[in-house]
Structure 1
């Protein structure tokens, strides 16, 4: 059931540009209703639909409930990233940084996304040099050239501040 259900959720997200925010929320809610009301994956999808629709205050509670109910795997990391982004949009950038700091060691292939969203929150918190340093340090290993020099410049940004 989960793979078929997830495929239907993914189809809603794939069509989201044509559906509009209200319809995405409606369809995701309908799919979530097929699962138990405390299902962490369904809660996560409901949160994401609201977040995408600009309903951050509604999304926050659903993200928190999904995490509290044991959301696991990649979705757990995604929920932390999306919740942190929501918190930043709600003007709570330092809380967003703290949330991303907690998840970063477990973020796996989403590590760079964690760093990127933390950089956005750091900018909003008035720490632009630290944000740039962390973002550049995360970018450096992906470059075919200039890795060492970019990593050094990234470190210098916070050392010289």
Structure 2
């Protein structure tokens, strides 16, 4: 057992991951998970590190534990994004869709969730909704003055990509 305090070990693990030493971070985080199995922040950091290491299948349980725990809001929205993205990468599209639906409902202003949901929609053959989502995001967020002048038209097309209003 180490004498280094919990906060120090967690900070060191995050620094290892961000410093390109994710394998070492993983070892430290797995030890923290064993010691603090109900700690949502440790679970989240463990999941994230597994994703960095392309160990998505192992990340899922850690994301689920983090989301079920008491995460700060910013970490919760990122954990939902991470879990949805990981499930998408694993081809578990139905589960990913549920996670993104929950995430977008819980954090409607957190646009990265909408972007990743659009990618999933494209992967599942719903290209129309994927394009509509991305057009809405573009209209809502662009700072490009050339695109901004067409914001109303872009939003209208996003709402009716099939141009049913022409017929």
Instruction: Return the TM-score normalized by structure 1.
Output: 0.81
**Larger radius of gyration between Structure 1 and Structure 2:** 2
Q: 2:44 maps to what in 1? A: 44
Describe the superposition over 1:59-115 as per-residue Cα deviations: whole angstroms up to 9, x where unpaired. 101111111223231111111110001111111123212211112133265x21000
Q: 1:141 maps to what in 2? A: 140
Could you list the runs of 5+ residues in structure 2 that have no partner in the other structure? Answer: none
Q: 2:79 maps to what in 1? A: 79
Q: Determine which structure has the larger helix proportion and give its number.
A: 1
Describe the superposition over 1:3-62 as per-residue Cα deviations: whole angstroms up to 9, x where unpaired. 76665444234312xx3x4234234445x3596221000011001111121111111011
Q: 2:154 maps to what in 1? A: 150
1:137–1:150 CA contact under 8 A, matched in 2: yes
- Runs (4+) of structure 1 exceeding 4 A deviation are 1-7
Distance in structure 2 (CA, Å) of the matches to 1:22 and 1:9: 10
Equivalences for residues 89-108 of structure 1 within 5 A: 89-107=89-107
| Aligned-CA RMSD value | 2.5
Distance in structure 1 (CA, Å) of the matches to 2:157 and 2:13: 43
Distance in structure 1 (CA, Å) of the matches to 2:71 and 2:77: 9
SS of equivalent residue, structure 1 residue 157: coil
2:10–2:29 CA contact under 8 A, matched in 1: no
Instruction: Return the TM-score normalized by structure 2.
Output: 0.79
Could you list the runs of 5+ residues in structure 1 that have no partner in the other structure? Answer: none
Equivalences for residues 19-30 of structure 1 within 5 A: 19=21, 21-29=22-30
The alignment covers a number of residue pairs equal to: 155
Describe the superposition over 1:107-127 as per-residue Cα deviations: whole angstroms up to 9, x where unpaired. 265x21000110111111111
Distance in structure 2 (CA, Å) of the matches to 1:114 and 1:158: 25
